[in-house]
Structure 1
């Protein structure tokens, strides 16, 4: 028997979440369910708490109060690369990190994981850059490589922070297509964005102001 989206458990659930930094309240009184098989966009003005909320969903930011429950298979693609330019990593190396969640960090990749890496490179249009040092990429190419890393693990929850910022029209459309494909696969996709095209792709738009959900 098939299960409808409304009957599925949320990929992430927040209740009464509050996050403070040195007395500043970044997120306050947030209740939120993130549904599998759907794209949720988080919108709002600068400083509204959007990226902090995304980090809360990812589990990378401690809560001051409240409760978070989420799936274990999460891919979080930040707006800026956390990969040091000093590391001699190729694009394939960076994308392969995403597949380690399928096999374990120190295990050799199996054929399915290698296929996932190749598929992610193809879907983001960077297969020809696989052997290129990550440190030499442009900002847009880095963003696509990091998104490919997120795809390689076939996560249940895909979190993206401003994924189309600084990209050309064709690259932006490619990323929106990837978001749609991942949601059809059954993943929950959550994306912080100001981009009207991304907001138009979403099944649900959550608007933040001063750390609160207002719509």
Structure 2
């Protein structure tokens, strides 16, 4: 038996169904997410992978079924930056947003939060770029900044939607290294991806097709 089967769970979906615009996007999905493990959600485009991630993140309510999540914090890193091109924010500003989640409302940045931002910037190779406007970054650099934002949150559950898609080799490798490091530190990482290198790193691979789980294999 693989060690991953003994790891405690942090979240699970039971019979989750999502209907959007009269179309079944997820059909009675059962999924278990474990701590200290990288879980990959794989499958063809339109299979419901991103919707599954949104349900886990709590940003989309299922039409039916049960979502159970331990008393744990989560961080959701989308595939593309939802930041206006002309918004005057630096790379450090973007990453600092993640640290606000660990502080709570109306609390000032403390030394621990600032260190979390510094560590996240360093882990993604962004320290030298931290004062640069976010709008000036390349696509790969932007995706690294978004992941750094997620890391700065210090969440127990890290949810990633296609974090290495269409990136340069350096950005892709840095992101894969950061993902592995997070799982190694005890974070539950769930990653939607087509990246064969990320899939090869996974402890568990869940495959979706047409909104249904057609495979759930332990690999780690």
Shorter chain as denominator, the TM-score bin is over 0.9
TM-aligned CA deviation for residue 177 of structure 1:
1.1
TM-aligned CA deviation for residue 11 of structure 1:
1.6
**Structure 1 unaligned blocks of 5 or more:** none
Residue 182 of structure 1 aligns with which residue?
Answer: 182
Q: Secondary structure in 1 aligned to 2:66?
A: strand
**TM-score, normalization by structure 1:** 0.94
Residue 10 of structure 2 aligns with which residue?
Answer: 11
Quote the Cα distance in structure 1 between the aligned partners of 2:15 and 2:86. Answer: 41
Q: How large is the RMSD of aligned CA atoms in angstroms?
A: 1.4
Quote the Cα distance in structure 2 between the aligned partners of 1:135 and 1:162. Answer: 20
Quote the Cα distance in structure 1 between the aligned partners of 2:22 and 2:103. Answer: 41
How has the CA–CA distance of structure 1 residues 201 and 5 changed in structure 2, closer, same or farther, with 3 Å as cutoff? closer
**TM-score, normalization by structure 2:** 0.92
TM-aligned CA deviation for residue 157 of structure 1:
0.4
Residue 39 of structure 2 aligns with which residue?
Answer: 40
Q: Secondary structure in 1 aligned to 2:155?
A: coil
Residue 218 of structure 2 aligns with which residue?
Answer: none
Residue 132 of structure 1 aligns with which residue?
Answer: 132
Quote the Cα distance in structure 2 between the aligned partners of 1:19 and 1:82. Answer: 24
**Structure 2 unaligned blocks of 5 or more:** 216-220
Q: Deviations over 1:152-201 (max 9, x none)?
A: 01110011111111212222121111111111111100101111111001
Residue 143 of structure 2 aligns with which residue?
Answer: 143
Pairing of 1:99-110 with structure 2 (within 5 A): 99-110=99-110
**Number of matched pairs:** 212
Quote the Cα distance in structure 2 between the aligned partners of 1:175 and 1:105. Answer: 29
CA contact (8 A) 2:40 2:193 kept: yes
